[in-house]
Amino acid sequence: MLKNKTILITGGTGSFGTTFARYLLDKASPGEVVILSRDEKKQHDMRLAFDDPRLKFVITDIRDRDQVFNAMRGVDLVFHAAALKQVPSCEFFPLEAVKTNVIGTANVLDAAENFGVERVVVLSTDKAVYPINAMGISKAMMEKTMMAKARSTRSGTVFCGVRYGNVMHSRGSVIPLFVKQMAEGKPLTVTHPDMTRFLLPLPQAVELVLFALQHGRSGEVFVRKSPAATVDLVARGCLELFKSRSEVKIIGIREGEKMHETLLTREEMMNSEEFDEYYRVRGEREMDYDDFYTRGHGTAIPEDGYTSANTEQLDLEGVKRLLLSLSEIQAALKERS
């Protein structure tokens, strides 16, 4: 499915994009991997680090509809990871989140449809489920934009999505913040000790995307089952691994944050297919406009969705083992030894 294909990754210089590009080039034998992003410095660094002629770069913003269409010519597969992801930034600039996460996504989907791309996989987040902040709301609308395109398209393009929780040690996540705070001898800032979060290593995020690529039908969303832990346990695990004397400072829940995250709503659970490691939320491509008013599921809604409070809960040793599986943590420990 990937061999000899021209593959476009939007937001390709981010944590997922660079990891996925490395996987493709090392293991999938693509014809060409196109990295679309707006950061020329990150593209330059990536070009030097990879040093692979199959890797191509396009500097543009997905908000620029014409340039997105230009970049889409000849593309076989699209992995859409470009987004505004920082919760505080989106709270202060919600319209910017809409422009990138909703309108930018529409540009990518329209271009893929126009040029007959085989498959598009869009990447979403647990914050899109029962959203309470601008970033989550915009990502929820991104998902709805994908689903609407899947229902309305007359092309053969398959549009599907994935949704996952916190990717461990991704840019802007709490683990690199803890590592930085320990290195500087500062307290580890914890919002609330009982707050839970899904914990997903980046390679498993790649596996989720590949599973969706292989098994996805138009309009479907896939979720990877993930363990969770309290933020306090993650902080304590970091302190023990790094033998740090830093303290833990409780700063309180910030604007737009939840105590527990949700990957599947109660309503989605009744429309889901369960695999060993994944959930598939079935699409509604066969439903037309009138069906939304006249057709129901006839199934009782379960009491709970799939949340970071009711998934597998890691203890301190489990958190430490998961942390030690991260190459970034291994490198940081080696550097400090």
Distance, in Å, from the CA atom of 214 to the CA atom of 158, rounded to the nearest integer, reads: 11
Rounded mean pLDDT, 235-244? 96
Distance, in Å, from the CA atom of 209 to the CA atom of 160, rounded to the nearest integer, reads: 10
Tally of CA atoms within 13 A in the half-sphere of 18 that contains its CB: 15
Tally of CA atoms within 13 A in the half-sphere of 319 that contains its CB: 22
Does pLDDT of 297 surpass 90?
Answer: no
The yes-or-no answer on residue 127 being catalytic is yes
Q: What is the pLDDT of residues 305-335, one digit of tens each?
A: 999 999 999 999 999 999 999 988 998 888 8
- Looking at residue 289, its pLDDT comes to 59
Location of structure tokens 């390679």:
203
Q: Where does the pLDDT of residue 285 fall: very low under 50, low under 70, confident under 90, or very high at 90 and above?
A: low
Distance, in Å, from the CA atom of 222 to the CA atom of 163, rounded to the nearest integer, reads: 6
Distance, in Å, from the CA atom of 198 to the CA atom of 260, rounded to the nearest integer, reads: 9
- Looking at residue 286, its pLDDT comes to 53
CA dist list (Å): 318 to 229, 293, 322: 9, 47, 6
- pTM for the model stands at 0.91
Q: Residue 327: which residues within 8 A CB-CB, separation 6 or more? A: none
Q: What is the pLDDT of residues 19-72, one digit of tens each?
A: 999 999 999 999 999 999 999 999 999 999 999 999 999 999 999 999 999 999
- Looking at residue 296, its pLDDT comes to 56
Location of structure tokens 């034998």:
29
Distance, in Å, from the CA atom of 45 to the CA atom of 60, rounded to the nearest integer, reads: 17
Q: Would you call 57 helix, strand, or coil by DSSP?
A: strand
Fold of the domain built from segment(s) 6-166+199-226+263-302 = Rossmann fold (3.40.50)
- DSSP state for residue 31 in the 8-state scheme: S
Distance, in Å, from the CA atom of 84 to the CA atom of 136, rounded to the nearest integer, reads: 10
- Looking at residue 334, its pLDDT comes to 85
Rounded mean pLDDT, 251-261? 88
Instruction: Return left, alpha or beta for 116; rule: phi > 0 is left, psi -120 to 50 is alpha, else beta.
Output: left
- Looking at residue 83, its pLDDT comes to 96
Chain centroid, CA 110 distance in Å: 21
Q: Would you call 299 helix, strand, or coil by DSSP?
A: coil
Does pLDDT of 10 surpass 90?
Answer: yes
- Looking at residue 277, its pLDDT comes to 93
- What percent of the chain has pLDDT above 70? 94
Q: Where does the pLDDT of residue 175 fall: very low under 50, low under 70, confident under 90, or very high at 90 and above?
A: very high
Distance, in Å, from the CA atom of 246 to the CA atom of 262, rounded to the nearest integer, reads: 31
Location of structure tokens 């969303």:
221
- Looking at residue 270, its pLDDT comes to 85
- Looking at residue 292, its pLDDT comes to 56
Selected catalytic residue, list 127, 139, 149, 225: 127
Does pLDDT of 295 surpass 70?
Answer: no
Instruction: Indicate the domain borders of the chain.
Output: 6-166+199-226+263-302
Q: Which residue has the higher pLDDT, 165 or 105?
A: 105
Q: What is the pLDDT of residues 124-158, one digit of tens each?
A: 999 999 999 999 999 999 999 999 999 999 899 99
